[in-house]
Structure 1
């Protein structure tokens, strides 16, 4: 589709034309304004009616111009040829045919047609010069901004009264835009605004320059001015949406793109697909699906299945998501990207089946090394943790931390918990390779020491924020350190003691009643360990002190009551019976 919007052709192209009624002139002016505002359906209706009711060369040119601007060069060519045949002296349709040639990348034919039209009018026809310059700016790929500027400069010299100043300045701005000369382009657009202060197209195109330069805030300023100039000028909303999206204001972007659709009246499936994309980015997943539904049967683009797959995944319609993404991957394997595997893996993992979990992890693993926006190792780790596959969860939480510039506190927490819980399973996990006693001891120690390290890192991370603590990090450090070794060694070395003591200190200082209550069981375990440790050291008084602290929390703790109970008095000895004397026979 042609990319640049032009000013009304009415005043220029009607030089020498016969206008039978004021209504016809008004209809034409409205139709040309509709083309500028990309209201192509309305423009087509009006211009087709004019060309049918009055098939003059000029009216054929306007209809052909509509087809050219709306991206239908074959239809434009047929109409321009009809107009050229209607009046061989009128060069406008030949210029239109040059525009078609440029759209078809036939630069040689286009140059020949324009050069001949300018020569036939002796470089004096202002309309011919302006439209010739315009044709060299319409195509994204086959353009010639230098030649456009030469022709437009000639037209400017002819415009002695400045009647077409705003139109010529706008076209010059477009030529400089194509030359990537933003400074001169803005100057030309500003000149057009000086001639016509309410010209929405000028502010829109200045904003477009800032958008191309990635100055999104400045671009938005000019798009707002364009909307103030003319709230019905549709192209502004589309560009404004792009600027907002690049500023991550996706909801506002989607809203403005919808306004573009509404005001232009377009039914172009590719543009509707863009709205669906913005709806998705705005997390309006149902809205995205609604737009995708409008495209069914209208567009043969596998991207639709991708968008369905992503949106359904976010909506929790997991099987629909899987079906759509599998269709897309099968139809367009060369277009598959990291997000396709990500959303497919998420949908599979949410099926709640062993096969779904397996396939989900497989696809998330494909995506994880390439995803620069999310740490997918975290999702894999959580899936394993929720399935109580703690050894794999520990492995992937370690990858999560390694592949994240700023790991979350919970990454360290669950890495620690996964290692801690698998430590108890070592030697009993039927899915693992068999181990002998020595291997079990080594592996068990490894998992508990990894847990200790993770909890230590978590405590350190939390305490970077002034006044913040996480007492349980020290509790689990103590537990991990204790279980890393045989209990006799742990009790004799007391390696866990400082962590239990730190936990007790922090938990006891907690002012939140609910939190403090939640620590009660952990405190009891801590006191019991410290009591046992002191008993091993033969410090009965200290041990009794810790046992009493347990009873303060749980007066009915049977183990502690038994430990504190005085030894039962020894039962009195039963006197031994006197031996029965045997009588000596004969005495």
Structure 2
């Protein structure tokens, strides 16, 4: 009986060690971004060792990283009932609270997780620190506060320093982040992620050759470590964007490195999604559509796949499919997960669909597209910078109404790098589209405001004054006629100061004609004579000027 008891105890110890080893293998698989492998290990552990709460937590955390919140919550709630470290699952529930903007709920759950821990326990504070950092609504100060508690107990904790680096980097405190990552690697030089993050800081400082050198050192150490190839891919992409002469060569190299990354990270859904995000950056939409369809075969439920299908379908000319995918995506996800680019692509797809076989745009569908673009700019004003090229194309094709609608959305961001040009072409489009019989007068008011914005930003842009004068001339009210005269006079002044009289001859003839006529009709004889004489200098024998001067 004694031997049987000893043997049973031995089996128990061996079993616990095996589970611990498997959990470490799962963590290593997550670190190497081999998510499917990690998931298989953790699902096996949850089934074979349901008394270990850590197994449930790390599986739930994996689902949470994939934005599968409902699945994550199921495993966290099951894990709480585990005998060993069940309370650690409150940290996962706390992170879900953070994502939902419930800070009080998060703190309550974190308090439950740490309620009965021993003085030397550090894992809970490490995981709470990470939760605060990787939440959709991060709180880096609280992350740092919790991670420092780990270092009080274990001053050489490489994992704590790694997470501390992430928190400092989130705070944009690059110096402290660099120092933390360096400490992490010094205390554990098998922690390749720390060295990667040191190189990422170098890359983000646009020191691309140095970053590539650091990444290649990691490759030499462990050529099968997938994340380093992802970082090499992203480095070459940004390097190409910075050195446009090498863009094509570097993007090609970036895509090759991403394929290498994919081959080492088991083509999991999470890896594929990262790949899809990169393909959007690299503008490889054929590959993106193919990747999205592969993801759909793996997971018919995850709505994020619909986003990739929507983007790629539009770029590949399948606008109806794009609208269908993006409408379905927007209807399925929480509002907080919809980004500005989702509305941008939905708007562009609807605009493309509104173009008929005759080459003209159907007003109803086109205006629906504009509504989506407005949502995009409301959500993220920087999107406005991408509308200039679209509006210009329509303007050059003489679709003035349609171009004006695009520029009206674009000028909502006053900090846009294209703000001046967008206002200029908005004014142009509204003016050229105006029909005295059918157009509402407020179109001219908008055009006047657009040219006023251009003048405020660039007072010597003579054509803004010229077209402000034209717009106010068409308005034809006593007030607008005064603005017309003032704008024409400002135009004349700028042209003369720049010495461009000959170049602007026709526009000057127009200006002197209307200004001279205004002063003649309003009894300001001297000013009328002055302008009409200038007109005769440019166009000797001009009948209107000659006849009016005789009358005056």
TM-score (norm 2): 0.55
Which residue matches 2:310?
309
Question: Which structure has more helix as a fraction of its residues?
Answer: 2
Which residue matches 1:548?
536
Which residue matches 1:236?
228
Unaligned runs of 5+ residues in structure 1 are 1-12, 14-30, 42-66, 82-93, 113-142, 150-168, 194-200, 433-443, 464-468, 568-587
Supply the distance in 2 between the matched residues of 1:68 and 1:145 (Cα, whole angstroms). 34
Which residue matches 1:291?
291
**Deviation of residue 500 (structure 1)?**
2.4
Supply the distance in 1 between the matched residues of 2:549 and 2:342 (Cα, whole angstroms). 67
1:474/1:372 CA distance change after superposition, 3 Å: closer
Which residue matches 2:374?
365
1:190 aligned residue (169, 186, 189) = 186
Supply the distance in 2 between the matched residues of 1:480 and 1:174 (Cα, whole angstroms). 66
Which residue matches 1:461?
457
Which residue matches 1:47?
none
- The answer to whether the Cα contact below 8 Å between 1:207 and 1:223 also exists between their aligned partners in 2 is yes
Which residue matches 1:205?
194
Supply the distance in 2 between the matched residues of 1:242 and 1:107 (Cα, whole angstroms). 42
**Deviation of residue 72 (structure 1)?**
2.5
Which residues of 2 match residues 311-330 of structure 1 at below 5 A? 311-330=312-331
1:102/1:145 CA distance change after superposition, 3 Å: farther
Decide which moves more: 181-190 or 325-334: 181-190
Is 1:499 the counterpart of 2:499? The answer is no
**Deviation of residue 360 (structure 1)?**
0.9
1:76/1:478 CA distance change after superposition, 3 Å: closer
Unaligned runs of 5+ residues in structure 2 are 1-13, 15-24, 60-78, 87-116, 124-153, 168-176, 243-249, 356-360
Is 1:412 the counterpart of 2:405? The answer is no
* Rg larger in structure: 1
- The answer to whether the Cα contact below 8 Å between 1:101 and 1:110 also exists between their aligned partners in 2 is no
Supply the distance in 2 between the matched residues of 1:534 and 1:461 (Cα, whole angstroms). 30
**Deviation of residue 305 (structure 1)?**
1.7
Which residue matches 2:69?
none
Supply the distance in 2 between the matched residues of 1:276 and 1:204 (Cα, whole angstroms). 22
Which residue matches 2:271?
271
**Deviation of residue 239 (structure 1)?**
5.7
- The answer to whether the Cα contact below 8 Å between 1:68 and 1:100 also exists between their aligned partners in 2 is no
RMSD: 5.7
Count of aligned pairs: 408
Which residue matches 1:136?
none
Supply the distance in 2 between the matched residues of 1:490 and 1:361 (Cα, whole angstroms). 30
Supply the distance in 1 between the matched residues of 2:53 and 2:181 (Cα, whole angstroms). 24
Supply the distance in 2 between the matched residues of 1:322 and 1:359 (Cα, whole angstroms). 12
Which residues of 2 match residues 68-217 of structure 1 at below 5 A? 69=38, 71-75=40-44, 105=79, 173-174=158-159, 177=162, 187=183, 189-193=185-189, 201-208=190-197
1:316/1:373 CA distance change after superposition, 3 Å: farther
1:398/1:538 CA distance change after superposition, 3 Å: same
**Deviation of residue 458 (structure 1)?**
1.4
Supply the distance in 2 between the matched residues of 1:192 and 1:337 (Cα, whole angstroms). 38
Which residue matches 1:429?
438
Which residue matches 2:463?
472
**Deviation of residue 276 (structure 1)?**
1.0
1:178/1:343 CA distance change after superposition, 3 Å: closer
Which residue matches 1:348?
350
1:405 match: secondary structure: coil
- The answer to whether the Cα contact below 8 Å between 2:34 and 2:268 also exists between their aligned partners in 1 is no
Is 1:523 the counterpart of 2:525? The answer is no
- The answer to whether the Cα contact below 8 Å between 1:257 and 1:275 also exists between their aligned partners in 2 is yes
1:374 match: secondary structure: helix
1:265/1:68 CA distance change after superposition, 3 Å: closer
Deviations 1:343-390 (A, max 9, x none): 111110122142320321232333332224323996899899876559
Supply the distance in 1 between the matched residues of 2:394 and 2:33 (Cα, whole angstroms). 54
